[in-house]
Amino acid sequence: MGETKLIDDLTIKRTKRHFRPAHYLLKIQSYSLLCDTGVEKYDSGVFEASGHKWRLSIYPKGNEKMNGSGHISIYLAIVDTEKYTLGWEIYVSFKLFLFDQIQDKFLTIQNVDGVIRRFHDIKTEWGFHKFLSLVSFEDLSQGYLVNDCCVFGAELFVHERNAKREFLTMIKEPLNHTMPWKIENFSSLDKVTYYSRIFPIGDVRWKLLVYPKGIYNGESKVISLFLFCCDCVLPEQKCFAKFKIRIKDQINNENHVEKTEKHWFTASSNEWGFSHFMPLKDLEDASKGLLMNDALIVEGEIIVISNVK
């Protein structure tokens, strides 16, 4: 018996508080007469909380089948479950109460560490076999039984299983991960920026972006190249990409000029790349084969991309 009580004490937390239970109060007048009826268990009326119907089951002399003799046993039971679908389950954290009428406080009993209980079609009630010893309950100085009257209570919180789920996957070399872009009449380009067509890679759409005279419009005499994410338009949207941008060698197909970068693309940072990709004088050097017949071939390549579902 001593070992059983120790285990019970380790799993139950008892405190006192002034404010009343949030969901249900059960006042029993002439408690001794209820016990004299010989009833093993008293089921309270039904009350609603957190969208479900419940009742309290009280064993005035203890639930002997669960070794609760010498104590009050009390349980929270879910009712009216016939309407639930097959395989239903509800996760609940709850507290049960007994009013201390002398101190004007509620003895609050709950599972240690706020254990969440799973109610389902096989297990429709949870509670405490040894809610309170009959010795303490019947001790008038404790204030639980005054003028043969006592008050029990309950409050509970249902943990809904509708949390949003997110699956982040990092994908190496996704399908169709290259973005070829031939830019014609390069020397005649007169706008600050030009965009390629859209390239769908993974579940994200991308564009390449070129500043023919550099991001600073000729001040540095360079060409600027960037990767642009079309789909990061809302604050919560983001996408990671490790990528390469290259200008291809059209003579030998060997000496491409390429650079690698990585970035988390967001609505406020939806383009990333190289403001000084290479000097224009090197680009225009015919021996390098990068600019042929006034055309250059820019290619983007996604090496790693994130996928969120």
Domain holding 116, by residue range, is 12-158
Specify the CATH number for the domain of residue 118.
Answer: 2.60.210.10
Record the pTM: 0.57
Report yes or no on 200 lying in a domain. yes
Where do we find the tokens 């005499």?
A: 221
Same domain, 189 and 303: yes
For residue 66 the two structure tokens come to: 């669960």
* DSSP type of residue 146: B
Q: How far apart are CA 69 and CA 75, in angstroms?
A: 15
Same domain, 211 and 249: yes
End-of-domain residue from the set 158, 186, 218: 158
Report yes or no on 108 lying in a domain. yes
Same domain, 74 and 141: yes
H or E segment to which residue 300 belongs: strand 296-308
Q: How far apart are CA 222 and CA 265, in angstroms?
A: 24
For residue 267 the two structure tokens come to: 């609505």
Report yes or no on 77 lying in a domain. yes
Q: From the CB of residue 231, how many other CB atoms can be counted at a distance below 10 Å?
A: 16
Residue 7: predicted pLDDT: 38
Same domain, 56 and 102: yes
Give me the residues of the chain with pLDDT under 50, please.
1-7
Report yes or no on 6 lying in a domain. no
Report yes or no on 7 lying in a domain. no
End-of-domain residue from the set 106, 124, 158: 158
For residue 115 the two structure tokens come to: 């254990």
Q: How many domains does the chain have?
A: 2
Residue 220: predicted pLDDT: 79
Same domain, 197 and 271: yes
